[in-house]
Amino acid sequence: MQKQATINDVARIAGVSKRTVSRVINGSLSVGDTTRTRVEKVISELKYSPNTQARGLASSRSYLLGLIYDNPDALYLDDVQRGVLEVCSNLGYELVVHPCRYRSETLLQDCLRFMQRSKLDGVIVLPPVSESETLAQALKESGSAYVRLSSVALDEAKHIVVSDDRAAAAEMARYFAQLGHEHIAFISGPQRYKSSTERMEGFQLGLSAYGIKLQPDWIIEGNNTYETGIECARQLLQAEEKPTAIFANNDQMAAGVLKVAHSLGIKVPEQLSVAGFDDNMLASRVIPALTTIKRPVRQMALLATSKLIMSIENNDKAASNVAAKVAPTLVVRESTARVAGSSD
Amino acid sequence: MQKQATINDVARIAGVSKRTVSRVINGSLSVGDTTRTRVEKVISELKYSPNTQARGLASSRSYLLGLIYDNPDALYLDDVQRGVLEVCSNLGYELVVHPCRYRSETLLQDCLRFMQRSKLDGVIVLPPVSESETLAQALKESGSAYVRLSSVALDEAKHIVVSDDRAAAAEMARYFAQLGHEHIAFISGPQRYKSSTERMEGFQLGLSAYGIKLQPDWIIEGNNTYETGIECARQLLQAEEKPTAIFANNDQMAAGVLKVAHSLGIKVPEQLSVAGFDDNMLASRVIPALTTIKRPVRQMALLATSKLIMSIENNDKAASNVAAKVAPTLVVRESTARVAGSSD
DNA sequence: AACCAATTTGCCACCGGTGGCAAGTGAATC
DNA sequence: GATTCACTTGCCACCGGTGGCAAATTGGTT
């Protein structure tokens, strides 16, 4: 357990003051070339690396980012995290993960406390927590850097990355319509989340362009889990009159639909078309592989992190200039087909 | 952006010295009851919470734990992370995640640098990085607290949580044998990882108890991904002579087997039994649902984190006393059946 | 040679806590 | 009433950096 070299050691050996060493570390302009070289040499010889806590204490920077989320799908979280970490490690930041309860009364306290306890330089907020305007407001007021991921443009460009779920859902509608489906059901996510309502509205809008209307009893609300996907699918598929196509708010629930269809002996896609939303790993693993909407999660994470770091490093304009919107795309696989008995 | 209360504010208002406030915060015994109460009142009125950086600087504690891993399965990582976070948030720690490259030359530097840069109090190391003895050695020498997750007991009890994958694989062997299978193939993980060899050896050992021997050309090495699962399954199932059962080193590869079997028109489990290892979310989603081995990942994470925090808080004996071993268990679902044509 | 501005460098206070030790307090003991 | 001792409390230095400002150096002008 050898002791860590300090800035004083470097200063002493290089024969300069610690203030100068500090300047070298922080890439200050006003350091003579010879001095800089000498100091850098000593730094690398001593394998010196500055104490982040001391640095943070003095400069109120921690090089720590936070990721705030509430019980996300494991696959989604993993994608996001990978993306964020990629940028972080390139730019010298570390990532602290922080689950929380969106619906808790103490969400605000909890998140703010988290930020100040760990002295984070900024946070990335995932849905559905990102939909909380009170949290966003509190973050803004506390002067923290933050970026939200969302399905709706809720904030200024520098604070948000949005995916146009509405348009994507409309595209799925168009695809269904073109396959000749008219009896279509939708398994929605919790209606209290914007991402759910966006997708539903987009889907309805898309269908209406073809004169198709979702019957109210063919809109069922799940909570985005596999289990509720199963429940909703049972309701739909055990009824007298069955839809020929089901669009689920995410891949997990779509997988549930496949399971129920299989257990009822309903052939997918011959008798029933099924589609999901996300295009996560599950979508390609199941049989038949799911037609779905690919959300560019990783890309959103990259954008969000870039924005965040730019706004931390006091370059808000640059942060605003990073693209703030991404477009999910339709991915056609095996779970959808032309409606039985229709020609094109 | 209101200013944060400091220890001095609390001290002034409570009419005590900051040293006393510090004592209250740290739960020191030698503080009078009346004083303590008064200070606590002020603390909560001011919503004071100590600055972790300053605290860390003075006491060399950061209340930050690290999670070190290399490209794990998303589902595995999520399970671990949830478990770790559960303990963390109860005990006032935060978690910093740190992916790294196991096979990189700079693994050691990278990890040590990570630890000292962020002044972590301790780290949890996941397989396969946990199998690196040089890293473990370096951690020990640097005096850092650490706990490894592994399939083999590589370290002292206080530094490790192991799952007995060998025994679990043997149990799968027994199960296969009892179903009457004799023509059995195994899709292994990368042989450079102990977790892979443990499972393979356990499986072989288990089979040998029934006089069954794995033919060399029915042992194929994948790399634990779905894609290699598919490749390996093709090799096995397109051959002249096919196995009646395939055991894959993990669920991802088992899912690949299901996909290939389906595309070749081989019925699972009627013509082919398939089993995986992990029991992650995927296992129950696929059709037919996978028979597999449930690894108590979350439990391992909980144990590891408890151990880690105990050993940080200087109670190594207690850390050693926390159970260090967990037993994965067989979960029978729909993908396995008695071999065709056999009675029991 | 004297002067000046621009550039480099150093000094010292400070960030917000903790640790060691001394001082103060009150009750018990003689 | 004086002495002792255990228990509380306060003082001050220190952790390892950064920021503001002054000092020193540099080189170009007049």
Asked if pLDDT for residue A1 goes beyond 60, the answer is: no
Contact A142 B51 (CB under 8 A): no
pLDDT at residue number A31: 82
Note if the pTM is more than 0.85: yes
Q: In what order do the strands lie in the sheet with A273-275?
A: A219-221, A184-188, A245-248, A273-275
| List of B residues 30-89 with CB within 7 A of strand D | 30-32, 34-36, 54, 57-58
Contact (CB, 8 A) for B123 and B68: yes
Helix (H, G, I), strand (E, B) or coil at B169: helix
Closest CA to B64 of A96, A24, A69: A96
Residue B250 to residue B231: CA distance in whole angstroms: 14
Mean pLDDT for all residues in chain A: 92
pLDDT at residue number B321: 82
Report the run of H or E that residue B3 belongs to, with start and end: none
Closest CA to A266 of A227, A237, A229: A237
Contact A286 B281 (CB under 8 A): no
A54 Cβ contacts chain D strand, under 7 Å: yes
Place of tokens 């799911």: A290
Q: What is the pLDDT of residues A96-107, one digit of tens each?
A: 999 999 999 999
Residue A175 to residue A191: CA distance in whole angstroms: 24
Identify the band that residue A313 occupies on the pLDDT scale cut at 50, 70 and 90.
Answer: confident
Q: Kindly state the DSSP code that residue B27 receives in the 8-state scheme.
A: T
Residue A246 to residue A204: CA distance in whole angstroms: 13
B23: the nucleotide nearest its CA (via C1') is C18
Nucleotides of D under 7 A from a protein CB: 7-12, 14-20
Please give the protein residue whose CA is closest to the C1' of the nucleotide C18: B58
- Residues B138, B102, A88, B225, Cα dihedral to 10°: -150
Contacts of B251 (CB under 8 A, 6+ apart): B276, B277, B278, B279, B280, B282, B283, B290, B292
Q: What is the pLDDT of residues B133-170, one digit of tens each?
A: 999 999 998 888 999 999 999 898 899 999 999 999 99
Place of tokens 């595209």: A171
Please tell me the number of Cα atoms within 13 Å of B36 on its side-chain side: 11
Q: What is the pLDDT of residues A288-306, one digit of tens each?
A: 999 999 999 999 999 999 9
**Of chain B residues 5-44, which have a CB less than 8 A from chain A?**
none
Lowest average pLDDT, out of B120-124, B217-221, B224-228, B309-313, goes to B309-313
Q: Kindly state the DSSP code that residue B219 receives in the 8-state scheme.
A: E
With CA atoms as reference, the chain B residue closest to A252 would be: B285
What mean pLDDT comes out for the span A228-248?
Answer: 96
Does B203 lie at the interface with A, CB-CB under 8 angstroms? no
Residue B327 to residue B158: CA distance in whole angstroms: 18
Contact (CB, 8 A) for B326 and B299: yes
Q: Which two tokens stand for residue A330?
A: 């339709």
Q: What is the pLDDT of residues A95-140, one digit of tens each?
A: 999 999 999 999 998 898 888 888 899 999 999 999 999 999 999 8
Identify the band that residue B197 occupies on the pLDDT scale cut at 50, 70 and 90.
Answer: very high
Please give the protein residue whose CA is closest to the C1' of the nucleotide C15: A58
DSSP letter for each residue of A128-169: TGGG-HHHHHHHHHTT-EEEEEESS--S-GGGEEEE-HHHHH
Identify the band that residue A3 occupies on the pLDDT scale cut at 50, 70 and 90.
Answer: low
Outline where DSSP puts E strands in B292-343: 292-294, 325-326, 329-331
Does B109 lie at the interface with A, CB-CB under 8 angstroms? no
C-alpha triplet A185, A190, A194: angle, nearest 5°:
100
Q: What is the pLDDT of residues A17-30, one digit of tens each?
A: 999 999 999 887 77
Give me the CA A146–C1' C14 separation in Å, rounded.
Answer: 28
pLDDT at residue number A314: 73
With CA atoms as reference, the chain A residue closest to B227 would be: A285
Identify the band that residue A32 occupies on the pLDDT scale cut at 50, 70 and 90.
Answer: confident
Asked if pLDDT for residue B1 goes beyond 70, the answer is: no
Residue B76 to residue A170: CA distance in whole angstroms: 34
Give me the CA A133–C1' D23 separation in Å, rounded.
Answer: 52
pLDDT at residue number B307: 94
pLDDT at residue number A29: 73
CA dist B209 → B51, B53, B197, B291, B328 (Å): 61, 58, 18, 21, 20
pLDDT at residue number A2: 57
Q: Is B27 exposed, middle or buried (0-12, 13-18, 19+ CB in 10 A)?
A: exposed
pLDDT at residue number B118: 86
* Contact residues, chain A, for B57 at CB < 8 Å: 51, 53-54, 57
Identify the band that residue B318 occupies on the pLDDT scale cut at 50, 70 and 90.
Answer: confident
